[in-house]
């Protein structure tokens, strides 16, 4: 039997929150509160999801990589994770208190919020700035709305019209959090905005093309800029060059595939569009100091 290489794993909302033993899934929406000492993250490798998540930190901090950028989420911060972005949990503090609100695009639509068509909800599909640093007062109001949402989720089937009530409360939460993202966007300095937008345009292109395009020039051409300007912009905004990001994503995907023993190194090389296994092994060793075979034996 021939096994086909596949990309970074995609986990469903049921898989992820089932691992965390969340009990209040209701037609595509979850709300779960956790403490750092209680959290045993079931997934530590990079992955994608089929749903949206808002992570609200009440205390402590958690570090997460989103599309290769590392974010430290602290007290009163909210991180938005949209479907398909590659995310990886890096570390958390023991005093972490976090609330996660997760929901599918279908639930969002059923609540009357069509994020692809309404300008007010561009923040749901944009990764230009997924981290919201809210004021204490605004954050406290969000928590109160979540408390009501959780209460209604726990009693959603006990009375008539609770589905409609729940949908309205959820919609209010989305509107409120959207207004805070908009407020933050307006308060940000104009200086550097274009560089940030260019950075995230590149980061949006990278997952789509990294298997075929591994040169900085190929991405610069797609963005109608010079390779030097692209790399310098990324260096200014993130501390990494375009080449760094390309290599990191290729290696990340290669390591994930190498952890699947059913795939041959030749199949992985082919999936990642290397001309042959030798070229792939040479590329991998240059970045990691080990050949793919040696990495597989050490993993």
Where exactly are the structural domains of the chain?
10-187, 196-298
Per-residue pLDDT for 6 more than 50?
no
Q: Please state the CATH superfamily assignment of the domain spanning residues 10-187 in this structure.
A: Regulatory protein AraC (2.60.120.280)
- Nearest alpha carbon to residue 103 among 27, 167, 51: 51
Question: Do 24 and 66 touch, CB atoms closer than 8 A?
Answer: no
CATH number 1.10.10.60 given to 196-298 = yes
Q: Tell which wins on pLDDT, 298 or 124.
A: 298
Q: Tell which wins on pLDDT, 22 or 161.
A: 161
Choice among 57-71, 89-103, 159-173, 213-227 with the minimum mean pLDDT: 159-173
Choice among 83-92, 192-201, 276-285 with the minimum mean pLDDT: 192-201
Query: Can you tell me the distance from the alpha carbon of 10 to that of 12, in angstroms, rounded to the nearest whole number?
Result: 7
* Per-residue confidence (pLDDT) for residue 191, from 0 to 100: 45
DSSP 117: T
Q: What is the pLDDT of residues 16-37, one digit of tens each?
A: 776 665 555 567 888 888 887 6
Query: Can you tell me the distance from the alpha carbon of 195 to that of 229, in angstroms, rounded to the nearest whole number?
Result: 10
Under the banding of pLDDT at 50, 70 and 90, the label for residue 153 is confident
Query: Can you tell me the distance from the alpha carbon of 92 to that of 40, in angstroms, rounded to the nearest whole number?
Result: 11
Average pLDDT of the chain, as a whole number: 83
**Residue range 41-53: average pLDDT?**
76
Per-residue pLDDT for 40 more than 80?
no
Residues of the chain above pLDDT 90, percent: 36
Query: Can you tell me the distance from the alpha carbon of 235 to that of 241, in angstroms, rounded to the nearest whole number?
Result: 5
Q: Tell me the two tokens of residue 176.
A: 């409120």
Choice among 47-51, 78-82, 131-135, 191-195 with the minimum mean pLDDT: 191-195
Q: Tell me the two tokens of residue 135.
A: 């004021």
* Per-residue confidence (pLDDT) for residue 3, from 0 to 100: 47
Does an H or E element contain 244, and which? Answer: helix 242-258
Q: Tell me the two tokens of residue 87.
A: 């995310």
């Amino acid at each position: 039997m021939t096994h086909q290489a596949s990309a970074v794993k995609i986990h469903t909302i049921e898989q992820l929150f089932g691992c965390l033993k969340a009990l209040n899934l209701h037609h595509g929406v979850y709300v779960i509160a956790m403490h750092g000492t209680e959290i045993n993250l079931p997934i530590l490798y990079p992955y994608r999801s089929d749903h949206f998540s808002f992570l609200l930190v009440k205390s402590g901090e958690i570090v997460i990589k989103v599309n290769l950028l590392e974010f430290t989420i602290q007290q009163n911060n909210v991180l938005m994770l949209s479907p398909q972005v590659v995310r990886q949990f890096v570390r958390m503090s023991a005093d972490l208190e976090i609330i996660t609100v997760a929901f599918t695009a279908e639930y969002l639509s059923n609540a009357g919020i069509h994020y692809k068509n309404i300008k007010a909800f561009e923040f749901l599909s944009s990764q230009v700035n997924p981290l919201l640093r809210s004021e204490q007062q605004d954050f406290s109001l969000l928590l109160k709305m979540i408390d009501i949402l959780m209460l209604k989720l726990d009693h959603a089937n006990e009375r008539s019209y609770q589905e409609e009530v729940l949908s309205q409360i959820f919609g209010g939460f989305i509107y409120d959090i959207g207004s805070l993202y908009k407020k933050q966007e307006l308060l940000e300095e104009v200086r550097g905005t274009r560089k940030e937008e260019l950075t995230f345009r590149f980061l949006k292109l990278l997952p789509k093309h990294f298997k075929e395009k591994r040169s900085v020039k190929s991405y610069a051409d797609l963005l109608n800029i010079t390779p030097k300007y692209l790399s310098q912009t990324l260096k200014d905004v993130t501390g990494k060059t375009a080449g760094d990001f390309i290599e990191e994503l290729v290696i990340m995907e290669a390591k994930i595939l190498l952890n699947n023993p059913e795939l041959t190194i030749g199949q992985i090389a082919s999936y990642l569009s290397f001309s042959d296994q030798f070229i792939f092994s040479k590329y991998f060793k240059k970045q990691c100091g080990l050949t793919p075979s040696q990495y597989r034996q050490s993993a």
